[in-house]
Amino acid sequence: MSYGAKTRLVSEVLTAVQRQFGDESGVQLENTDVIRWVNDAQDVIVAKNKVLKAKSTTPSVAGQAAYTFPSDNIHQIESIHYNGYRVPNMSFPEAEEQIFQADPNSTTVGNPVLWYEWAGTFTFWPAPNSDANIDLYYTQRPVPVVNVTDVLSVPDKYYQDVVRYCMQNAYEMDEDMASSQAKGQQFDASLNEKSEEERTAQNMTYEKITVYDDYSW
């Protein structure tokens, strides 16, 4: 699963990369190079496997349709629930068209049946008619590392993947394209394997559960 301890340091990645590259003195591979690659690796890992899962809860206000996202570190919204029920998402053009047809003056209030995003806010339609909890399920962006003493944002199970990504770039910098390509393939294969493991684990746990959206409440 993606949830796990985050204890590995940038210094550990640096040591591993320098040792594998044969540059333990750091003559060819500077700290700034490895730190940049570590940040790139974390971005790729999060984009592909969505490993940094988070949830936040904010109260709704009766009659208020638009709300600001609670964090500027959101990578992707996975689901929004209002009063314990999942609210379907629509793209802005689709939502605009549906609302225009059903409620051209945007005066309807009730239990939201859709939400859309625009300019850092999410908007319900219709606007909630009561105060209730809004639960956001989302994945986060990794926190960029700056120093070798920083802790990686991704779980420890992805430590070797970070090392592989850095090695891919180290070999590329050294113009050893065959070794760079090999490390890149190992990196991609490892991420795919972890993604499949998580998908399998989720299916084994939840395969008999069916969720129905009910908007009669």
Domain ranges across the chain: 10-50+144-205, 53-139
Task: Give the integer Cα–Cα distance in Å for 116 and 125.
Answer: 9
Is the pLDDT at 33 greater than 90, yes or no?
Answer: yes
Task: Give the integer Cα–Cα distance in Å for 189 and 150.
Answer: 27
Q: In terms of Cα–Cα distance, which of 134, 90, 93 is closest to 111?
A: 134
Helices marked H in the chain — which ranges? Answer: 10-21, 31-49, 92-102, 159-173, 177-206
**DSSP conformation class of 89:** B
Is the pLDDT at 151 greater than 70, yes or no?
Answer: yes
Q: Which residues pair with 85 in a beta bridge?
A: 82
Q: What is the pLDDT of residues 123-140, one digit of tens each?
A: 999 999 999 999 999 999
Task: Give the integer Cα–Cα distance in Å for 78 and 122.
Answer: 13
Q: Which residues pair with 124 in a beta bridge?
A: 115
pTM greater than 0.85 (yes/no): no
pLDDT score recorded for residue 95 = 95
Q: What is the pLDDT of residues 100-126, one digit of tens each?
A: 999 998 899 999 999 999 988 999 999
Position with higher pLDDT, 73 vs 180: 180
Question: Do 57 and 84 touch, CB atoms closer than 8 A?
Answer: no
DSSP letters, 8-41, are -BHHHHHHHHHHHHT-TT-SSS-HHHHHHHHHHH
Average pLDDT, whole number, for the chain? 89
- Give me the amino acid identity at 193: E
pLDDT score recorded for residue 202 = 63
Task: Give the integer Cα–Cα distance in Å for 208 and 185.
Answer: 35
Residues 6+ apart with CB under 8 A from 156: 4, 5, 6, 7, 8
pLDDT score recorded for residue 3 = 53
Task: Give the integer Cα–Cα distance in Å for 16 and 5.
Answer: 20
Query: What is the dihedral angle through the alpha carbons of 88, 94, 98, 101, rounded to the nearest 10 degrees?
Result: 180
Is the pLDDT at 215 greater than 80, yes or no?
Answer: no
pLDDT score recorded for residue 212 = 42
pLDDT score recorded for residue 71 = 76
- Percent of the chain, pLDDT > 90? 76
Structure tokens at 169: 């770039």
Q: In terms of Cα–Cα distance, which of 197, 202, 141, 158 is closest to 5?
A: 158
pLDDT score recorded for residue 72 = 72
Task: Give the integer Cα–Cα distance in Å for 162 and 159.
Answer: 5
